[in-house]
Amino acid sequence: MDRRTTIKWVLAASASMPLLEYCDEVLAAPSTKTTPAVAKPYGTDPNLLRVYKPGDLWPLTFTADQRATAAVLCDLIIPADARSPSASSVGVVDFIDEWVSAPYEPQRADRAVVVDGLQWLDQESSRRFSKPFRQLGVSQQRQVCDDICYLPKAKPQFKQAAVFFARYRDLTAGGFYTTPQGRKDLEYIGNVPMPSFNGPPPEVLKKVGLL
């Protein structure tokens, strides 16, 4: 599956209200497997002139094994191709780790879903193939993901894992397509400095009735 197909699926899934309601129910469920961040929020006035590094604002969540699993899953969702690099190679794992470590309610909910989901991947992979997810071959990893990659068609025993996959896919896409490499892959031309600006093109002015 190419990146553009992935984006179309994400947009289609986001339009499904029953799916969102189901996700909300699962996200609201308490988890006993995650530790809340101990840091305080940075408030409404962060130092915007400082360059922050991962972990500067609050303790990060992922262990080394979780980071390795997270990287593998990121690259299954957005692999490298002739147009752009893989998700993990442009820092998406750092983004997700920072996101789920933030001490805010939405991020705390995501932390429970993501950490429990990564644990589920290893448990399911060990059950099927006697290895953790990150040590499987690509074909075996895809077999596991095929059962959870589309929530509306997931079997009952995979529903909660499918909620995790949907959220993780959204975080991966959000992290990747806000990088310079991701914007280039989308052929997004905004935020590009111009030596001069001569005003809107005549065809645009004519279309809005100003010419």
- Cα within 13 Å of Cα(77), Cβ side: 31
**How many Cβ atoms from other residues are within 10 Å of residue 206's Cβ?**
11
Task: State the total domains in the chain.
Answer: 1
Q: Is 55 left (phi over 0), alpha (psi -120 to 50) or beta?
A: left
Per-residue pLDDT of the chain (211 residues; tens, 9 = 90+): 555 555 545 544 444 444 444 444 444 444 545 555 567 776 667 788 888 888 888 999 999 999 999 999 999 999 999 999 999 999 999 999 999 999 999 999 999 999 999 999 999 999 999 999 999 999 999 999 999 999 999 999 999 999 999 999 999 999 999 999 999 999 887 877 878 888 888 999 999 999 8
Q: Could you tell me if residue 209 is inside a domain?
A: no
Q: Could you tell me if residue 69 is inside a domain?
A: yes
C-alpha distance from residue 164 to each of 7, 23, 71, 113, 190 (Å): 17, 9, 15, 6, 32
DSSP 8-state secondary structure symbol assigned to residue 209:
T
What single-letter amino acid sits at 159?
A: K
* pTM of the predicted structure, to 2 decimals: 0.75
Among 80, 50, 84, 61, which Cα is nearest to 187's?
84
Q: Could you tell me if residue 187 is inside a domain?
A: no
Q: Could you tell me if residue 22 is inside a domain?
A: yes
- The span from the CA of 49 to the CA of 165, in Å, is 35
Q: Could you tell me if residue 185 is inside a domain?
A: no
Q: Could you tell me if residue 89 is inside a domain?
A: yes
Is the CB of residue 121 less than 8 Å from the CB of residue 73?
A: yes
Q: Could you tell me if residue 39 is inside a domain?
A: yes
Q: Could you tell me if residue 45 is inside a domain?
A: yes
Domain hosting 151: range is: 3-179
In degrees rounded to 5, what are phi and psi of residue 178?
A: -105, 5
